[in-house]
Structures are given as structure tokens and as C-alpha cells.
């Protein structure tokens, strides 16, 4: 049975009694909208805070300057992996937060919260690149201070139905509908900047593979499985050879849509890759980038020589690392719901297939021909 994230996600950080906060920025995948929500939460709680950038080894100074501009402030940057500028950051933490302080360490998944605490305390803590390694508050003593590790997820349980949309201020179903559709549209539009470079590169490389006789294979779990199925369906409608293999049984068992049954099944990853040759393209869809069989299939397909493409919200994840090309959405600044991410990924998938068809010279008549029924004479029922 798959392990799923529990309600530990929604515990407000204020209950930990923090007197200060460190806000870690993943310089490689900053997710500015989510960072702004963390900042809002810190300001609302009235906490003194220190913002620190991590993963300097993965970006250049131009990227750092761009993040400074987007957030409207400078802050110290470091690499916990290489140790660059870490001593200066540690000294600043000691200066900023006196002995007796309870310092909550905040940031998105994989920004280095647990790694920072391990570096400061010398403890051998569980660290991984799969989103959700830390699922509850964990306190650690350090030089007369308490460092509090947290979950890389933003959600305010005091707001109406925050798990999908923030309906704060909506008084009628009509207002809720308008809010929901606007948020969905914003999720698509905010993904335009983050998705464009990877999208154009993927488009070019996929066309090359198809021109050389390759095919597309798509995969995903739960809601992402529906996106993978939609991409495959549109491929068929435009004459692109495509297979779709997922763990999703949503048509028969809707529980799999919500719970993502079998996400840890390595055998499924191997089965998917058996259908992939070195000429083919494997497109893996995962909002988190941490769905087990999806990123493992992408890893194995890459080893086999296939082109691998990821459609994901989290660049700094196993799926992001194993894919040749990442098409990154930017649709979910808060909450565990996949509603806006799924909409953005559907839009990306639709655009990918339709533009690919246009570049391959597929006409409307060609597409309609692919969709027409093709009845084949068959035996009568009951005849063996």
C-alpha cells in the first residue's frame, strides 16, 4: 500500500511557539509565489526572520540577481552541498537569533531545511530529494537555541476549503465559481514563463524522434494519470504513435484518483520501460516530481537511450533530475490540492500535441480521419 501524506501537513507553524524564523530559498527552483506566502505568514505572525538562499552550486549569479528582483530584497546565499558561504550564514544566524530563541526553519520542499539543521547540529538526519521527507515538526537543540524543522507545504486551515481554493470572502456559490475559474486560469498563465524554455526544447526533440520512427509513451499516477491519458488520446487524434501506461483505475475505482494506488510499485516502472526503445520518448507527468514508479520509469528509460521529458511543478525533484527536459508548471503556490496543477498540465499537454501536429503538417482532415469509427466485421455473439 502506498504511503500518503497525512493531516500533519496542515498544522499551522504558529503552534510550535517560534520566536524567529529562517526562510530558505531554493535558488534552483525558487517558486516565488509560494515564498511570498511563507513571507506573508511570517509577517502575520510578527516573527523576526532571516531569508537565506541555498543551492548556489546549481545556479549562476544572474539567476540570484533575478530572484532578488522578484522578491524585492537581497539576502545571503550559500551551498550546503559544497560549503560555499556557509560559515558566513551560520554566523548571521547566531547573530540574528540569541540564545533561548525558538527558530522555525521554513521553505518549500527540497530547499534544504533538514540539511541546514543537520549541518548546524552535527546530527545524522534523514534527508532526501523526494518532496515530503519531513512530515511533522521536529525540534533540535543547537547552541542554546531550538531549531524547528517543518513541512515544505503552505496551507492555512483557517481559510475556507483551503485544500482546493481559497474561498475567503466568497458568500455565494456563484462567487465561488468565479473564484475557482479565475484561479485555474491564473495557474495556466503563471506557468507560461516557467514552462516555455523546456516546452520548446521538448517539442524540438520529440519531433526529431518521431521523424526517425519513434513513438511517445506517457505515464502518471492519480490526477497526473488523467493528464497522461489525455496527451495520449490527442496524440492518437493527430496520428502520433503513442502508448499510455499508468496505475490509474479511476474509471472503475475512483479511490485510485485520490490515493494514487501503487505509486511505489517498481515493477510497473520496469513494465513501462519494456515498451520503450532508444528511438522513443517517455513523458512522465507528476505534480510533485516524487511519484515513485514515474520517476523510476524515466530514469530507466534514460539509461536505455530514450528521450525523457518531465511535466512537473517541482524542478528540484527526482523526476526533474532524471528527465532530459523539464516542462515546469507554476500553478500551485499553496495547499495540497492538485486542481490548478492538473489544469496547467492539461493545457501544456494540449499545446504540446497540437503544436507538434502543426509542425508535422497534420491537417484537420487528417485529424478527423483518425477519429472516425473503423468498423470491422466480426462474429456474432455466442459463436465460438
pLDDT tens readout for residues 330-344? 987 665 566 888 999
Burial status of residue 149 (CB atoms within 10 A of its CB: 0-12, 13-18, 19 or more): buried
Residue 142 is predicted with a pLDDT of 93
> Per-residue b/e over 174-210, b at no fewer than 16 CB within 10 Å?
eeeeebbeebbeebbebbeebbeebbeebbebbeebb
* C-alpha span between 67 and 56 (Å, rounded): 12
pLDDT tens readout for residues 181-222? 998 999 999 999 999 999 999 999 999 999 999 999 999 988
Structure-block grid coordinates of residue 370: 483518425
Q: Which helix (H) or strand (E) holds 224?
A: helix 223-237
For each of the domains in the chain, give its residue range(s) and CATH number, in order of start.
8-149 (3.40.50.300), 192-371 (3.40.50.10490)
* C-alpha span between 129 and 255 (Å, rounded): 27
Residue 5 is predicted with a pLDDT of 43
Residue 173 is predicted with a pLDDT of 92
Residue 296 is predicted with a pLDDT of 95
The angle subtended at Cα 245 by Cα 239 and Cα 247, nearest 5°, is 150
Residue 254 is predicted with a pLDDT of 54
Q: Is 76 helix (H, G, I), strand (E, B) or coil?
A: coil
Residue 134 is predicted with a pLDDT of 54
* C-alpha span between 281 and 297 (Å, rounded): 12
Low-confidence stretches of the chain (pLDDT beneath 50)? 1-10, 157, 250-251
* C-alpha span between 182 and 346 (Å, rounded): 16
- Kind of pairing, strands 138-142 and 145-149? antiparallel
- Nearest to residue 305, comparing CAs of 323, 280, 326? 280
From start to end of the chain, where are the E strands? 20-26, 49-54, 102-106, 138-142, 145-149, 216-220, 242-244, 281-286, 307-312, 325-328
* C-alpha span between 309 and 216 (Å, rounded): 10
Residue 202 is predicted with a pLDDT of 97
Amino acid at each position: 500500500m502506498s504511503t500518503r501524506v497525512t493531516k500533519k501537513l496542515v498544522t499551522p507553524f504558529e503552534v510550535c511557539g517560534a520566536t524567529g524564523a529562517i526562510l530558505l530559498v531554493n535558488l534552483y527552483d525558487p517558486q516565488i509565489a509560494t515564498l511570498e506566502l511563507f513571507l506573508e505568514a511570517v509577517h502575520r505572525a510578527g516573527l523576526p526572520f532571516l531569508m537565506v538562499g541555498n543551492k548556489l552550486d546549481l545556479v549562476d549569479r544572474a539567476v540570484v540577481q533575478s530572484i532578488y528582483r522578484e522578491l524585492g530584497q537581497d539576502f545571503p546565499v550559500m551551498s550546503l552541498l559544497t560549503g560555499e558561504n556557509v560559515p558566513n550564514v551560520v554566523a548571521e544566524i547566531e547573530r540574528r537569533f540569541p540564545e533561548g530563541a525558538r527558530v522555525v526553519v521554513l521553505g518549500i520542499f527540497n530547499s534544504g531545511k533538514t540539511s541546514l539543521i543537520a549541518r548546524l547540529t552535527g546530527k545524522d538526519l534523514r534527508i532526501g530529494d523526494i518532496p515530503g521527507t519531513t512530515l511533522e515538526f521536529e525540534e533540535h537543540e543547537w547552541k542554546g537555541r531550538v531549531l524547528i524543522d517543518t513541512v515544505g507545504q503552505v496551507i492555512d486551515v483557517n481559510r475556507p476549503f483551503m485544500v482546493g481554493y481559497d474561498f475567503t470572502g466568497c458568500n455565494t456559490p456563484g462567487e465561488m465559481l468565479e473564484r475557482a475559474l479565475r484561479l485555474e486560469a491564473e495557474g495556466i498563465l503563471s506557468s507560461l514563463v516557467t514552462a516555455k524554455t523546456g516546452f520548446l526544447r521538448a517539442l524540438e526533440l520529440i519531433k526529431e524522434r518521431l521523424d526517425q520512427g519513434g513513438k511517445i509513451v506517457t505515464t502518471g499516477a492519480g490526477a497526473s494519470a488523467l493528464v497522461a491519458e489525455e496527451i495520449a488520446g490527442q496524440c492518437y487524434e493527430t496520428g502520433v504513435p503513442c502508448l499510455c501506461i499508468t496505475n490509474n483505475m479511476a474509471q472503475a475505482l475512483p479511490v485510485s484518483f485520490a490515493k494514487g494506488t501503487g505509486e511505489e510499485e517498481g515493477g510497473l516502472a520496469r513494465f513501462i520501460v519494456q515498451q520503450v526503445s532508444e528511438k522513443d520518448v517517455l513523458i512522465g507527468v507528476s505534480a510533485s516530481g516524487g511519484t515513485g514508479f514515474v520517476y523510476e520509469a524515466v530514469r530507466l528509460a534514460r539509461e536505455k537511450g530514450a528521450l525523457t521529458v518531465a511535466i512537473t511543478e517541482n524542478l528540484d525533484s527526482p523526476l526533474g533530475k532524471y528527465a532530459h527536459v523539464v516542462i515546469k508548471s507554476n500553478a500551485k503556490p499553496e495547499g495540497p490540492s492538485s486542481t490548478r496543477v492538473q489544469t496547467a498540465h492539461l493545457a501544456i499537454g494540449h499545446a504540446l500535441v497540437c503544436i507538434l501536429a502543426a509542425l508535422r503538417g497534420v491537417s484537420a482532415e487528417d485529424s478527423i480521419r483518425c477519429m472516425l469509427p473503423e468498423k470491422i466485421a466480426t462474429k456474432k455473439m455466442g459463436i465460438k
